[in-house]
Amino acid sequence: MLALPFARHHLLGTPLPTLKDYYLRRVTRIEPPYVIALCVYMVVILFTQADWLARVPNFFASLFMRTPDLR
């Protein structure tokens, strides 16, 4: 639950979580499944599409959460 640490603080009087700790917890929960899904997607593309090489820049752009260079 996204707001659970803040609800605990409000209801139980526990210490308020720092934003650093909060976002670090969010990233460590969200990032691994995101990376795994991207890698699985790339493997599927590798084996099913002839133009897989054209998708490699998009894969790395998504992996590092950047927009692909469209020059």
- pLDDT value for 39: 95
Q: What is this structure's pTM?
A: 0.69
Residue 20 belongs to some domain of the structure: no
Contact 61, 49 (CB under 8 A): no
Question: What is the DSSP secondary structure assignment for residue 50, as one 8-state letter?
Answer: T
Cα(53)–Cα(69) distance, rounded to whole angstroms?
A: 15
Residue 2 belongs to some domain of the structure: no
- pLDDT value for 34: 94
- Residues sharing a CB contact under 8 Å with residue 61, sequence separation 6 or more, in sequence order: 67, 68, 69
Q: Kindly tell me if the per-residue pLDDT of 70 is higher than 80.
A: no
The tally of domains found in the chain comes to 1
Q: Look up residue 9 and give its two tokens.
A: 């603080």
Residue 38 belongs to some domain of the structure: yes
**What's the domain range around 60?**
30-71
- Convert the pLDDT of each residue in 9-52 to its tens digit: 889 988 988 889 888 988 899 999 999 999 999 999 999 988 88
Question: What band does 67 get if pLDDT is binned at 50, 70 and 90?
Answer: confident
- pLDDT value for 69: 66
Contact 59, 42 (CB under 8 A): yes
Residue 44 belongs to some domain of the structure: yes
